[in-house]
Chains A and B, each alone.
Chain A
Amino acid sequence: MEMLWLVVLGTLVVGYFALAGFDYGTGLLLPFRGRDETLRRMTPFFLGNEVWLVAAIGVLFAAFPRLEGELLSGAHSTFTLVLAGLVLFMAAVQLRLWSWLVFTGALMVSVGWGLFLAHLLHAPVVVALVMPALFALHGWVFQTRRWTLFPVTALLCALPIPLAFSSIDVAGLMAHTDTLGLLAWVAIPIIPLVVVLQWSIVAISSR
């Protein structure tokens, strides 16, 4: 049961960074590319990409309650930065507000995740720049449609934070098996369902 939930959480976190990574990359590249075309390419993916984070935090809360509180409150100001960036970025992208607001939002989110990575690894603050660099690369691959490279940059974006997590011993931080068993009935069918539906959104909008 513990393994199962690590896999569920891992899938959601990897899914979030692999997908939302190119959103943030797109935001970071926006000042250097044609605005309308760049945003139009991202549009059908956008909402779907960001909700992976919502699902990941939900699972973190229910399945790893004693990890979630420590993790988030232990990096309080970093998450304030990530969330403030997310608010600006999501509002600016969806409403087609000014490009610089999209860029600023994306920069705040990426630097925020970078700072979180540095925090997890107890590394110097400079490490924070890794995430914006990877996101920008991933965004560039997505925007220039280099699909053979896409899985590579997706993994590069997705892996640093889950790998940094693997140093944490989760035994004793997880919920009781009664709670985990109940949630498994919901989480396991829903994730593939959402993947299929999100894929349909992309397929329909490119018709």
Chain B
Amino acid sequence: MSAVDLARLQFALTTSFHFLFVLLTLGLVTLLVIMQTRFTITGAPVHERMTRFWGRIYVINYALGIVTGIVMEFQFGLNWSGLAIYAGDVFGAPLALETLIAFFLESTFLGLWIFGWGKLNRWVHLALLYLTALTAYASAFWIMAANGFLQHPVGYRVEGNVLRLDDFSALLTNPTFNSALMHVIFASITVGGVFLTGVSAYHFIKRTPEVDFFRRSLRMGVITTALATPSLIGAGFAQFPIIAKFQPGKSEATPWIGAPLGFMILIGMTLTMVSWLTLPLLIKDAVIRMRFPLYLMVIGIPLPFLAAIFGWMFREVGRQPWLIYGLLRTEDAVSHVDASQILLSLIVFTSLFVLLACVDWALIARAVRRGPDVTPAPVSPLVVTL
């Protein structure tokens, strides 16, 4: 394989793994905001225990996800120096705003939230979670703005052989950015909903004594999924006219490009249908007493993750052979590095990321099996995970 093929493969693999963490982080933080708000207003212990239990899973996932994010950030400079040289002035702006506004601030707010547990006024503590969630969404906002520019470059002028930033607001009103951002946000909320549902179902299969706790979590998961999926599908289909206008060749980029798109749509439709069918079964906990749907809920946990990866495959492979659509070819953006060096980093990062994903899965599974605390314990994996 050539350097450009290896660099593309590395980017595809590391981005996919990174995105698995991101989806769960965004989905869970949204639901945590609801849980902690209810606790702060009502003071009911069950809401506090829910915030703790789901918060611990969220923090484990964040702690490992941040590591994959650092590698992603370096990868642009390591393997795709042509992108920075040609378009760094424009593409770099949203990316730097993401690292400063979102990443830098988000992890700091989250740190305050973790270490401030039980030590701060509970409204201040709640405000920190809101700020964490807000900066997490800001992260998605700026990354999608940067990606939108690659799909349909706007707001630039050509000066010599580089691009210069001409109109920053054009980057933020880019049609390939707005609809895709909504699609990604509803995808992560769906991931959160399906995850809550599946984990709660697992506890009912195991005949948990925490009936009230997981009953509330399961209802929250099902309702979240039912509310998020129609918007998810709407924002998805809203992208087809935009693609037809700006990237007419997208669905012919490779012969197999229709497959991931088809699977994604199939999963999205299934989740919508199943979650709406489950809604009436929430009455008198019929769905829990029937038991067999619980198994389906557990099996369903990976589905929205898979759909999201398929969606990215369609969006990114469909842009080829362009890195910046119509302006910069992928093969011209790759760094002048020996293929063997890229192969080395490909092997190192892919194996580390696979390992991280397995560790993440194992630690979350353990936190799930352990169930909610009977006595209060610190929320951070920095203290309690092992």
Chain A residues within CB distance 8 Å of chain B = 43-44, 46-48, 50-51, 53-55, 57-63, 65-66, 68-73, 76-77, 79-80, 83-84, 86-88, 90-91, 94-97, 175-176, 178-179, 182-183, 186-187, 190, 193-194, 197-198, 200-201, 204-205, 207
Query: Are A58 and B120 touching (Cβ within 8 A)?
Result: no
For B173, list chain A residues within 8 Å (CB).
Answer: none
CB contacts under 8 Å to A, within B77-131, are: 77-85, 87-90, 92-93, 95-101, 103-105, 107-112, 115-116, 119-120
| A57-B74, A69-B81, A73-B78 known; A83-B349 Cβ under 8 A | yes
Given contacts A46-B382, A65-B85, 11 further A-B contacts (CB under 8 A): A57-B77, A68-B76, A68-B88, A73-B77, A80-B345, A83-B74, A87-B71, A95-B385, A97-B386, A179-B90, A204-B112
Query: Are A54 and B103 touching (Cβ within 8 A)?
Result: yes
Provide the bound-state CA to CA distance between A2 and B105, in Å. 25
**Smallest CB separation, A42 vs chain B (Å):** 10
Q: Which secondary structure dominates where chain B touches chain A?
A: helix
**Smallest CB separation, A180 vs chain B (Å):** 9
Provide the bound-state CA to CA distance between A96 and B78, in Å. 30
Counting CB contacts under 8 A, is B300 at the interface?
no
**Smallest CB separation, A50 vs chain B (Å):** 8
Nearest CB to that of B117 among chain A residues? Answer: A204
Query: Are B77 and A69 touching (Cβ within 8 A)?
Result: yes
| A73-B77, A87-B356, A204-B112 known; A66-B70 Cβ under 8 A | no
Quick one: which of A50, A51, A176, A204 contacts B165, CB cutoff 8 A? A176
For A198, list chain B residues within 8 Å (CB).
Answer: 108, 111
For B97, list chain A residues within 8 Å (CB).
Answer: 183, 186
Quick one: which of A72, A90, A193 contacts B78, CB cutoff 8 A? A72
Closest 8 CB pairs of A and B: A65-B88, A69-B81, A58-B99, A62-B96, A72-B77, A73-B335, A62-B92, A69-B84
For A46, list chain B residues within 8 Å (CB).
Answer: 382
Provide the bound-state CA to CA distance between A4 and B207, in Å. 62
Query: Are A94 and B93 touching (Cβ within 8 A)?
Result: no
Quick one: which of A72, A76, A86 contacts B67, CB cutoff 8 A? A86
Quick one: which of B66, B93, B115 contacts A201, CB cutoff 8 A? B115
Provide the bound-state CA to CA distance between A28 and B90, in Å. 40
Query: Are A61 and B88 touching (Cβ within 8 A)?
Result: yes
For A200, list chain B residues within 8 Å (CB).
Answer: 112
Provide the bound-state CA to CA distance between A128 and B59, in Å. 35
Chain B residues within CB distance 8 Å of chain A = 60, 63-64, 66-71, 73-74, 76-85, 87-90, 92-93, 95-101, 103-105, 107-112, 115-116, 119-120, 159, 164-166, 168, 335-338, 341-342, 344-345, 348-349, 352, 356, 359, 363, 381-383, 385-386
Provide the bound-state CA to CA distance between A87 and B383, in Å. 19
| A61-B95, A183-B93, A200-B112 known; A95-B63 Cβ under 8 A | yes
Quick one: which of B103, B344, B363 contacts A77, CB cutoff 8 A? B344
**Smallest CB separation, A12 vs chain B (Å):** 9
Query: Are A55 and B100 touching (Cβ within 8 A)?
Result: yes
Query: Are B70 and A83 touching (Cβ within 8 A)?
Result: yes
Quick one: which of A79, A175, A190 contacts B101, CB cutoff 8 A? A190
**Smallest CB separation, B308 vs chain A (Å):** 23
Query: Are B89 and A84 touching (Cβ within 8 A)?
Result: no
Provide the bound-state CA to CA distance between A193 and B85, in Å. 31
For B78, list chain A residues within 8 Å (CB).
Answer: 72-73, 76, 79-80
Quick one: which of A51, A65, A70, A201 contacts B89, CB cutoff 8 A? A65
Query: Are A61 and B107 touching (Cβ within 8 A)?
Result: no
Query: Are B100 and A95 touching (Cβ within 8 A)?
Result: no
Query: Are A51 and B103 touching (Cβ within 8 A)?
Result: yes
Query: Are A53 and B104 touching (Cβ within 8 A)?
Result: no
For A80, list chain B residues within 8 Å (CB).
Answer: 78, 341, 344-345, 348-349
Nearest CB to that of B69 among chain A residues? Answer: A54
Query: Are B104 and A51 touching (Cβ within 8 A)?
Result: yes
Query: Are A58 and B95 touching (Cβ within 8 A)?
Result: yes
Query: Are B101 and A186 touching (Cβ within 8 A)?
Result: yes
Query: Are B99 and A201 touching (Cβ within 8 A)?
Result: no
For A94, list chain B residues within 8 Å (CB).
Answer: 63-64, 381-382, 385
Nearest CB to that of A39 among chain B residues? Answer: B382
| A58-B73, A76-B341, A86-B67 known; A183-B96 Cβ under 8 A | yes
